[in-house]
């Protein structure tokens, strides 16, 4: 039978393993000015701070300084550590005001060689003197003392150092979970400082003497690196999945788990370290979302099989928004990000329409196959199963399981889609039940001689209970549509009862004839034989469900009352005296009590039949035409199908009524009582001459 796919049971919510948010193992190098970097060689020293003034004593002093040996690295980095914050003071990643022209430096700047060596060793502290060096260059260009060639040479050195700094800082941020928190804060502080310098440069006057190098947009480069990291993480080949999953299902499950675990790591471990202006959660979330959405968008461009259509819908409409975006650890953080859906609404509607069409076709095919297999068992004289002493068929269970699984599948996407498919499934179920009834009728007609015929009839009647219970309770179908839906089952049950009772009623026919053959000479004895015959046959129906055995007993009850009335209406008995009529009335009343007691004791709930014979007995007993009219009027309200023909047949027993009296009594049925058509038939089943 149709089985729901079980691979979508929610994404795991375990704590992320440290380092799972690693960025690409071989990160792409950010653009660097390699030529400028080569110019910053060991023989190029930083020009003196007084470069561009006229030669003289100042130049001699500069030459003397040039002859001095360069300061050692330890002495150089003492410049960077001056004024170091004590524990508890604002860290390097925290926003600061715009730096001063000489940001945090009290002594002479280190040489290009020293800065290059420091940056190559990953010393991010070199960022501050490098910024000071850039500003000194800008000041020199603004002063106008230096030549153009000299400015270009000095700027190329600065840009080469910035390329090193950029690669170092962004390299740290590429694998933020693999570095110490303090080093991560340093890298963040470098990027934040560069963003502030970009804003300062944009607000201040530029100089045409230098090439434009700002804004550097390192924050934008960081975001680009985040996107590359997300793509690398999501594109990794997943481990082998559980058996039965398609390759696409394995890939999507890998992407969902990766995104959820990585974003949880970002929220728990990176957000406390990153400055607010980085928007670290939003940056990572948007990058993962864009990659996920791109995979879905690429997939829908192709012709999708049914399984892939369902997978895309369940991810776009359920798993992604519910198990990832609104998961307990991420919901509060991602609410303000506004990631949106993985697919546009129009595309989702198209996929939903395709899904509903696919499911309707599948359900129709599966139900038809189940009915065909079941009908083959009947035709092959296969005995039905016995369950709790009742004949049992799996057909109802199979059909309802097919329908329920299709409904649950749609609900696993969205409750709204579950509501939509419910109407589709009810239409298909109604068609199946009509086909079921036709198939069963063919079996009743063609297979009467099979040894398991009666057992299979009872098994199919018992099926009606499962269908009816499911429709009333689980599907909660309103009463009017339910009646239409279960109409074929009512016909199936009725035809089944007729088939089961046919031989019994054939056995009763000669016994009922004895009423008229003996001119009602000994009606109690005749009825006793009828009741005994029915009693002997009742165990044949014990394998029906209790409710259906009671309904079948109602059919027997109706048959006994109907046949008794038919015998009274044969016009073969005419009683001319009141005493004869009263004696017959007593016999009828006694017989009515026996029939009612026997049928009620054996489960009949047809209380509507109780007045049928006693009232006829009263009509026969009464002699006053006016009193008879009252009884007839009352009787007609109980049995609206009681006609003048039926009344004439009963009045024919009363041989002492004149023609005018009979006509007057009959006229009471001309009065319109505005009674609707009877829900149950009695006299419409009785034909009189």
Q: Among 45-59, 197-211, 246-260, 380-394, whose mean pLDDT is lowest?
A: 45-59
Q: Among 20-24, 317-321, 419-423, 626-630, whose mean pLDDT is lowest?
A: 20-24
How far is the C-alpha of 116 from the C-alpha of 103, rounded, in Å? Answer: 19
Q: Among 87-91, 123-127, 587-591, 601-605, whose mean pLDDT is lowest?
A: 87-91
pLDDT at 672 over 90: no
- If one compares 106 and 343, the residue with the highest pLDDT of the two is 343
pLDDT at 673 over 80: no
Residue 390 phi/psi, 5° resolution? -120, 145
C-alpha distances (whole Å) from 260 to each of 12, 230, 255 are 9, 12, 9
How far is the C-alpha of 689 from the C-alpha of 687, rounded, in Å? Answer: 7
Q: Among 49-63, 435-449, 668-682, whose mean pLDDT is lowest?
A: 49-63
The pLDDT tens digits for 516-530 are 888 888 899 999 999
Rounded to a whole number, what is the largest CA-CA distance in the chain? 163
pLDDT at 676: 52
Q: Among 17-26, 265-274, 516-525, whose mean pLDDT is lowest?
A: 17-26
How far is the C-alpha of 446 from the C-alpha of 338, rounded, in Å? Answer: 67
Position 208 confidence tier, pLDDT thresholds 50, 70, 90: low
pLDDT at 618 over 60: yes
- Token pair 């990585």 is found at 262
- If one compares 245 and 480, the residue with the highest pLDDT of the two is 245
The pLDDT tens digits for 186-207 are 999 999 999 999 999 888 776 6
pLDDT at 1: 33
The neighbouring-strand residues paired with 390 are 387
- If one compares 107 and 505, the residue with the highest pLDDT of the two is 505
Over its C-alpha atoms, the chain yields an Rg (Å, rounded) of 48
How far is the C-alpha of 489 from the C-alpha of 464, rounded, in Å? Answer: 6
Between 127-143 and 181-203, two packed helices, what is the crossing angle to 10 degrees?
Answer: 20
In the structure encoding, which two tokens stand for residue 234, read together?
Answer: 């999501």
pLDDT at 3 over 50: no
pLDDT at 207: 67
Q: Where are the extended beta strands (E) located within 269-348?
A: none
Q: Among 38-52, 125-139, 385-399, 456-470, whose mean pLDDT is lowest?
A: 38-52
Q: Among 218-232, 514-528, 589-603, whose mean pLDDT is lowest?
A: 514-528
pLDDT at 90: 39
Q: Among 68-77, 126-135, 432-441, 659-668, whose mean pLDDT is lowest?
A: 68-77
In the structure encoding, which two tokens stand for residue 490, read together?
Answer: 């009512």
How far is the C-alpha of 633 from the C-alpha of 637, rounded, in Å? Answer: 7
Q: Among 480-484, 494-498, 555-559, whose mean pLDDT is lowest?
A: 480-484
3-state secondary structure 111-123: CHHHHHHHHHCCC
The pLDDT tens digits for 636-658 are 999 999 999 999 999 999 999 99
Half-sphere exposure for 355 (CA within 13 Å, toward CB):
26
pLDDT at 105: 54
pLDDT at 103: 52
pLDDT at 563 over 50: yes
Q: Could you tell me which of 421, 454, 685, 385 has the C-alpha nearest to residue 560?
A: 685
Q: Among 6-20, 111-125, 238-252, whose mean pLDDT is lowest?
A: 6-20
Percentage of the chain exceeding pLDDT 90: 70
- If one compares 290 and 26, the residue with the highest pLDDT of the two is 290
pLDDT at 33: 33
Long-range contacts of residues 264-271, Cβ cutoff 8 Å, at least 24 apart: 264/15, 264/16, 264/329, 264/330, 265/16, 265/20, 265/21, 265/177, 266/21, 267/329, 267/330, 267/333, 268/16, 268/329, 269/21, 269/177, 270/21, 270/176, 270/177, 271/333
Q: Among 72-81, 153-162, 438-447, 501-510, whose mean pLDDT is lowest?
A: 72-81
Position 241 confidence tier, pLDDT thresholds 50, 70, 90: low
Mean of all residue pLDDT scores within the chain: 84
Q: Among 89-98, 361-370, 571-580, 613-622, whose mean pLDDT is lowest?
A: 89-98
Q: Where are the extended beta strands (E) located within 213-325?
A: none
- What is the pLDDT averaged over residues 412-437? 95
Q: Among 336-340, 400-404, 643-647, 658-662, whose mean pLDDT is lowest?
A: 336-340
**Angle in degrees, CA 123, 124, 125, rounded to 5:** 90
pLDDT at 301 over 50: yes
pLDDT at 184: 96
The neighbouring-strand residues paired with 387 are 390
Percentage of the chain exceeding pLDDT 70: 82
pTM value?
Answer: 0.74
Q: How many CB atoms lie within 10 A of CB 344?
A: 14
- Token pair 């670290």 is found at 280
């Amino acid at each position: 039978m149709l089985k729901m796919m079980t691979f979508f049971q929610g994404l795991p919510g375990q704590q992320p393993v440290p380092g799972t948010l690693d960025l690409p193992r071989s990160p792409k190098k950010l653009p660097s000015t390699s030529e400028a970097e080569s110019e910053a060689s060991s023989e190029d020293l930083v020009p003196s701070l007084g470069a561009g003034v006229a030669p003289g004593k100042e130049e001699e002093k500069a030459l003397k300084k040039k002859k001095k040996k360069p300061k050692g690295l330890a002495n150089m980095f003492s410049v960077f550590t001056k004024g170091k914050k004590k524990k508890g003071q604002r860290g390097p990643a925290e926003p600061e005001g715009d730096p001063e022209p000489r940001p945090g430096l009290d002594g002479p700047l280190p040489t290009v060689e020293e800065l290059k060596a420091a940056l190559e060793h990953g010393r991010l502290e070199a960022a501050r003197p490098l910024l000071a060096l850039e500003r000194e260059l800008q000041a020199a260009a603004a002063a106008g003392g230096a030549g153009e060639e000299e400015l270009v040479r000095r700027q190329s050195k600065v840009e080469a150092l910035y390329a090193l700094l950029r690669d170092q800082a962004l390299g740290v941020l590429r694998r933020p979970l693999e570095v110490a928190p303090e080093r991560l804060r340093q890298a963040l502080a470098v990027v934040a400082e560069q963003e502030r310098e970009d804003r300062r440069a944009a607000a201040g006057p530029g100089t045409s003497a230098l090439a434009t190098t700002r804004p550097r947009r390192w924050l934008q480069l960081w975001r680009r690196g985040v996107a590359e990291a997300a793509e690398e993480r999501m594109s990794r080949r997943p481990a082998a999945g559980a058996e039965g999953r398609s390759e696409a299902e394995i890939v999507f499950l890998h992407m969902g788990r990766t995104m959820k675990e990585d974003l949880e790591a970002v929220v728990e471990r990176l957000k406390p370290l990153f400055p607010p202006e980085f928007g670290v959660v939003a940056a990572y979330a948007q990058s993962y979302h864009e990659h996920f959405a791109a995979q879905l968008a690429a997939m829908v461009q192709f012709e999708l099989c049914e399984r892939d259509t369902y997978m895309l819908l369940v991810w776009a409409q359920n798993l992604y928004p519910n198990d990832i975006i609104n998961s307990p650890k991420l919901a509060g953080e991602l609410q303000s990000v506004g990631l949106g859906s993985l697919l546009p609404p129009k595309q989702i509607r198209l996929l939903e329409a395709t899904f509903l069409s696919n499911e309707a076709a599948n359900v129709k095919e599966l139900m038809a196959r189940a009915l065909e297999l079941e009908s083959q068992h009947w035709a092959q004289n296969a005995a039905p199963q016995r369950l709790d002493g009742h004949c049992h068929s799996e057909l109802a269970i199979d059909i309802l399981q097919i329908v329920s699984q299709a409904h649950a599948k749609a609900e696993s996407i969205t409750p709204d889609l579950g509501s939509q498919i419910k109407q589709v499934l009810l239409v298909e179920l109604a068609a199946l039940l009509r086909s079921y009834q036709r198939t069963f009728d063919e079996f009743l007609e063609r297979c009467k001689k099979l040894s398991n015929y009666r057992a299979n009839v009872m098994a199919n009647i018992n099926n009606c209970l499962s269908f009816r219970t499911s429709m009333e309770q689980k599907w909660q179908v309103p009463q009017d549509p339910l009646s239409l839906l279960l109409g074929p089952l009512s016909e199936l049950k009725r035809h089944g009862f007729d088939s089961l009772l046919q031989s019994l009623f054939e056995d009763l026919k000669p016994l009922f004839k004895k009423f008229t053959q003996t001119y009602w000479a000994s009606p109690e004895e005749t009825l006793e034989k009828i009741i005994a015959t029915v009693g002997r046959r009742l165990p044949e129906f014990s394998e029906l469900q209790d409710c259906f055995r009671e309904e079948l007993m109602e059919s027997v009850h109706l048959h006994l009352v109907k046949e008794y009335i038919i015998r009274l209406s044969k016009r073969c008995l005419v009683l001319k005296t009141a005493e004869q009529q009263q004696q017959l009335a007593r016999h009828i009343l006694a017989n009515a009590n026996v029939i009612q007691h026997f049928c009620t004791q054996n489960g009949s709930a047809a209380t509507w039949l109780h007045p049928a014979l006693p009232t006829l007995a009263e009509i026969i007993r009464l002699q006053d035409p006016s009193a008879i009219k009252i009884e007839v009027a009352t009787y007609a309200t109980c049995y609206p199908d009681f006609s003048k023909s039926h009344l004439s047949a009963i009045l024919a027993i009363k041989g002492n009524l004149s023609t005018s009296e009979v006509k007057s009594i009959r006229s009471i049925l001309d009065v319109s009582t505005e009674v609707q058509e009877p829900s149950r038939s009695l006299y419409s089943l009785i034909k009189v001459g």
